[in-house]
Structure 1
């Protein structure tokens, strides 16, 4: 019986698994590298991503037929991961404490994915981008409404404006960390305290 080269199939197809395992590892390495690079630079090139993943351009294009396809996959994974982690945040109890927990978790996600949102906006449709933000916005809105009803948050400005302020604080903190103006360890507390102070008025 002749030995079968790695990655080729025998007559019953049982030898194809090593190649599949290698392919899956390559795909995960490419996605991880793309996520890291795009979080810092939304214009990161295919060459930069392939180098960071430890693969060649040909290998990358063997899995993703274009940069746009890769960015779409990375963005969809980031959206799914964001929703999964935010859904696990305890938003019961005191509205200020609940919002504080939500803000800290959101900060970590914002910092992790950073400028990826810019890259995603270039490749995903406006409808896809809107859907990606719908549930996080709705979760924050529900907390703000509960806090306003309890007298914890000011109600003399539109809730939409309060959400915009929260977003600005989150993205501003992430940018400040990248510039070295504050540390990543200090950022969650700064985000939480600054946002709640702005909401309390």
Structure 2
């Protein structure tokens, strides 16, 4: 009977953790300063249960950001990056700006509690995908080569985060935010005349 109880507790714990992480993603996306109490309430658990799984707010924020990045990675892995590098980048940007919109608020929450090295580590896979695509486009003469590649990757991230911020501020709409972000990135990457 003891062996049956342990797996059940494990399954219950996993469901509880999943609810807490989902609640943290939702609340921190709405408000990067959301309290532990608000997150626990959203998850339908008490503070003690939450702290039983996540010892600190930083642990919870990291779990929420990691979950968002994992979900984003699943979406972005399905984007066709073959063919013309410019068209591939347009597809990638159109698919990723809404993911950035969610993770921007989570990132804001994380910046207050996680070291910058850890944040870079969590964003390494999406950054590598963009970097590889830019490198291919540079080799093919589609993207500029007069600026450092890491800088261009950062500029793309800044543009996407800026688009998400402008959407939240009401300066862009759902209808034009992706188009605006893609046009801005394309202008930045165009080789100088």
Give the TM-score category using the shorter length: 0.7 to 0.9
Stretches of structure 2 that go unaligned for 5 or more consecutive residues are none
Q: Secondary structure at the match of 2:123?
A: helix
* 1:193 alignment partner in structure 2: 183
User: Which of these residues, 131, 134, 139, is aligned with residue 124 of structure 2?
Assistant: 134
What's the Cα RMSD here? 2.4
Return 189-198 or 77-86, whichever deviates more: 77-86
Please say if residues 69 and 103 of structure 2, whose CA atoms lie closer than 8 Å, have aligned partners that are also in contact: no
* 1:160 alignment partner in structure 2: 150
Query: Structure 1 131/61 Cα, relative in aligned 2: closer, same or farther at 3 Å?
Result: closer
Stretches of structure 1 that go unaligned for 5 or more consecutive residues are 1-10
Larger radius of gyration: 1
1:100 positional shift: 0.6
Please give the alpha-carbon distance, in whole angstroms, between the structure 2 residues aligned to 1:131 and 1:72: 12
Q: Is residue 48 from structure 1 mapped to residue 34 from structure 2 by the alignment? A: no
* 1:118 alignment partner in structure 2: 108
* 1:86 alignment partner in structure 2: 76
Q: Scaled by the length of structure 1, what TM-score is found?
A: 0.80
Q: Scaled by the length of structure 2, what TM-score is found?
A: 0.83
How many residue pairs align between the two structures? 191
* 1:25 alignment partner in structure 2: 15
Query: Structure 1 92/30 Cα, relative in aligned 2: closer, same or farther at 3 Å?
Result: same
Q: Deviations over 1:112-149 (max 9, x none)?
A: 22221132234434432222233322222222222223
